[in-house]
Amino acid sequence: MLANKEKHSIQIKQWATELGFSHCGIAKAEFLEEEAPKLEEWLKRSYQGEMHYMENHFDMRLDPRILVPDAKSVISLTYNYYTDLKQTGHNQHNENTPLSHFPSSEGIEGWVPKISKYAYGEDYHHVVKDKLKILLQHMQETIGDLNGRCFVDSAPVMERAWASKAGIGWIGKHSLLINKTQGSFFFLAEIIVDAELEYDAAFATDHCGTCTACMDACPTNAIVENKVVDGSKCISYFTIELKDAIPTSYKAQFDDWMFGCDICQDVCPWNRFSKQHNEPKFTPNPKLLAMNRREWQEITEDVFNELFQKSAVKRTKYEGLKRNLRFLELK
């Protein structure tokens, strides 16, 4: 057991910073009493849509001690993925080049199917998980008798609730975690361990105030009330999770998103504090940024595999992406 909880907690946070994590907070592993009725009501309203896995392991989602036997501490971390890079739909255009010079101006005058920023580079599950494993190894080598598990959006863990309890930020109206100095463009990750550490104070204030920018901007009205998202109406759900045909009642409402959606984050005033990430593995393939509408429409499976070899976009598979692209044409 730890001889000096405060000393080891400080050391863990230093290692986290060295590994590239932006924030690290620690909370006591216990039953999430406040989250239980919220989760129950969310499921009762069928906001999970076809994501039936959300209905599983109810107790485990709320109590990390079931997920990790003898768990004492939940270490929450954030890893920045924000980028200023955008899909332009062309690769040679500059302000002195006339549009008529280009064989296709779809990406300049028209629209380009969009991918969420988080999926520009390599799959975050692997990139961040590898860093968590290194952090856990440091802890085991230095602290001694310690067991734990690493999680990156890969198990029934209420990651936003834990990050808030660990003092990292508050949950915004769009139900995502917001940090005052970083905004919300970051991945959340956790290490749950069977050792007592120094616990941070929970983030007690909500800094969204009267702002409803995210709620007003959502084209499918998925943010049904403060901090509650109807997942079955979210563009990310339709383009990633839904395996059946996208309901035509939503045509012309996707704002050209073919994988994921960043609208509620793009309009959030707190994301004016977002800074360019420095993770090389999140750097997008230049071809991805340069492809225009016609090239996306004509994408082959070989090009798909080349572009998204290590990407989270592989989750939707080639046929899934083609389905999404066909749906975007129903304007």
Check: CB of residue 91 under 8 Å from CB of residue 286. Answer: yes
249: left (phi over 0), alpha (psi -120 to 50) or beta: alpha
Residue with tokens 């580079």: 121
Check: CB of residue 49 under 8 Å from CB of residue 241. Answer: yes
Please give the biggest Cα pair distance in the chain: 71
167: left (phi over 0), alpha (psi -120 to 50) or beta: left
Active site residues: 153
β-pair type (186-193, 148-151): antiparallel
Q: Where are the beta strands (DSSP E) in the chain?
A: 23-28, 73-80, 114-115, 148-151, 170-171, 177-178, 186-193, 223-225, 228-229, 257-259
Cα distance between residue 96 and residue 73, in whole Å: 58
Q: Which residues have C-beta within 8 Å of that of residue 71, sequence separation ≥ 6?
A: 29, 64, 65, 192, 193, 194
Check: CB of residue 28 under 8 Å from CB of residue 167. Answer: no
